[in-house]
């Protein structure tokens, strides 16, 4: 499962891009902080982000949604992540709570999210809502904190600049539609590769063969026919056979390269391996 994150400043268009991706068929998970604020405001609390438990409530909902997301597809797209909540705590001047620390440690150890994060850039304005009470200048400061936070955690940011909605959604889709690392062939250990050779799973070159242990060795070269040159020498096989018994034990020819130079080159044209023509 590949899980991608959309991040950026408020009013940058993340939710609109997320909904476009849902129409394309991707599984999407909406922002948790907005849901926490909307739920509290529906119960009569005007500014829930001011209470001390706000950060932990956002972290808890983010974890619930991530663990509860369907695993039917191969790609999920999230509107923000706990790393955004870390940036939010920094922006609000809050300490990083134990719950936020534990969640960041979990998702880092389990590599829950892809290292590529889509940074949705500001559209040049910030539209206020009941849950979004922030000026445009404050939104730019918030954007910078998010960028610093993600880079500090080692993520690679993919910029999605301001533009029309269809083009921005298509830019995100073009990246997440690529095959993931799981499509790469596995890297076998030397032991596994030898076992595969023993089973015949891996081809061996024409000049080699696999031993019972799976190692590769060169096949023995066949004996050249009479009259051919011996490999690596200037001596013909018929000359070797004719020299049998002239040195050492009866019927045994001396090693070709151990002969005297004149004997080795006898009957050959100078500088070649071609036998010289004999006079008629």
**In this structure, is residue 209 part of a structural domain?**
no
The residue assigned the tokens 């998010």 is 146
**In this structure, is residue 166 part of a structural domain?**
yes
- Asked if 250 and 147 sit in the same domain, the reply is no
The count of structural domains within the chain is 2
Q: Specify the CATH number for the domain of residue 42.
A: 3.40.50.300
- State which of 182, 213, 240 marks the end of a domain: 182
Looking at residue 25, the DSSP 8-state letter turns out to be: T
- Asked if 147 and 245 sit in the same domain, the reply is no
- Asked if 256 and 139 sit in the same domain, the reply is no
**In this structure, is residue 279 part of a structural domain?**
no
- State which of 129, 150, 182 marks the end of a domain: 182
- Asked if 123 and 262 sit in the same domain, the reply is no
> At a CB cut-off of 8 Å and minimum separation 6, what does 47 contact?
133
- Asked if 178 and 239 sit in the same domain, the reply is no
**In this structure, is residue 208 part of a structural domain?**
no
pLDDT of residue 206: 45
- Asked if 241 and 165 sit in the same domain, the reply is no
Rounded distance between C-alpha atoms, residue 238 and residue 253, angstroms: 11
- Asked if 134 and 258 sit in the same domain, the reply is no
Mean pLDDT by 10 residues, the chain (280 residues): 94 94 94 93 91 94 92 89 95 93 96 96 88 87 94 95 94 85 39 43 44 50 54 51 46 49 52 53
Rounded distance between C-alpha atoms, residue 157 and residue 142, angstroms: 16
**In this structure, is residue 148 part of a structural domain?**
yes
- Asked if 18 and 86 sit in the same domain, the reply is yes
pLDDT of residue 193: 41
> At a CB cut-off of 8 Å and minimum separation 6, what does 157 contact?
117, 118, 119, 147, 150, 151
Q: What is the Cα gyration radius of the chain?
A: 37
**In this structure, is residue 114 part of a structural domain?**
yes
- Asked if 123 and 249 sit in the same domain, the reply is no
**In this structure, is residue 158 part of a structural domain?**
yes
- Asked if 111 and 247 sit in the same domain, the reply is no
pLDDT of residue 162: 94
**In this structure, is residue 204 part of a structural domain?**
no
- Asked if 51 and 162 sit in the same domain, the reply is yes
- State which of 182, 217, 251 marks the end of a domain: 182
- Asked if 162 and 262 sit in the same domain, the reply is no
H or E, element range at 108: helix 98-109
3-state secondary structure the chain: CEEEEEEECCCCCHHHHHHHHHHHCCEEECCHHHHHHHHHHHCCCCCHHHCCCHHHHHHHHHHHHHHHCCCCCCEEEEECCHHHHHHHHHHHCCCCCHHHHHHHHHHHHCCCCCCEEEEECCCCCCCCCCCCCCCHHHHHHHHHHHHHHHHHCCCEEEEECCCCHHHHHHHHHHHHCCCCHHHCCCCCCHHHHHHHHHCCCCCCCCCEEECCCCCEEECCCCCCCCCCECCCCCCEHHHHHHCCCCCCCCCCCCCHHHCCHHHHCCCECCCCCCECCCCC
Containing domain of residue 243, as a range? 225-269
Phi/psi region, residue 28 (left: phi>0; alpha: psi -120 to 50; beta: rest), is beta
pTM of the model: 0.63
């Amino acid at each position: 499962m590949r899980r991608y994150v959309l991040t950026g400043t408020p009013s940058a268009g993340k939710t609109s891009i997320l909904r476009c991706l849902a129409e394309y068929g991707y599984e999407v998970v909406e922002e948790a902080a907005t849901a926490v604020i909307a739920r509290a405001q529906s119960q009569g609390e005007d500014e829930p982000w001011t209470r001390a438990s706000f950060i932990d409530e956002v972290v808890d909902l983010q974890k619930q949604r991530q663990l509860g997301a369907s695993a039917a597809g191969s790609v999920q797209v999230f509107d923000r992540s706990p790393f955004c909540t870390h940036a939010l705590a920094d922006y609000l001047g809050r300490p990083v709570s134990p719950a936020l620390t534990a969640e960041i440690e979990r998702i880092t150890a389990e590599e829950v999210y892809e290292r590529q994060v889509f940074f949705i850039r500001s559209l040049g304005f910030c539209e206020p809502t009941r849950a979004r009470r922030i000026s445009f200048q404050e939104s730019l400061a918030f954007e910078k904190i998010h960028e610093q936070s993600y880079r500090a955690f080692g993520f690679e940011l993919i910029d999605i600049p301001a533009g029309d909605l269809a083009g921005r959604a298509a830019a995100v889709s073009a990246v997440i539609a690529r095959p993931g690392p799981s499509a790469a062939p596995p890297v076998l250990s030397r032991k596994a590769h030898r076992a595969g050779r023993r089973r015949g799973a891996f081809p061996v070159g024409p000049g080699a063969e696999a031993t019972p242990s799976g190692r590769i060795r060169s096949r023995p070269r066949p004996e050249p026919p009479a009259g051919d040159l011996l490999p690596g020498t200037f001596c013909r096989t018929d000359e070797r056979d004719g020299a049998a018994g002239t040195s050492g034990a009866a019927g045994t020819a001396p090693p070709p390269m151990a002969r005297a130079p004149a004997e080795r080159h006898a009957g050959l044209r100078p500088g070649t391996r071609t036998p010289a023509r004999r006079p008629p």
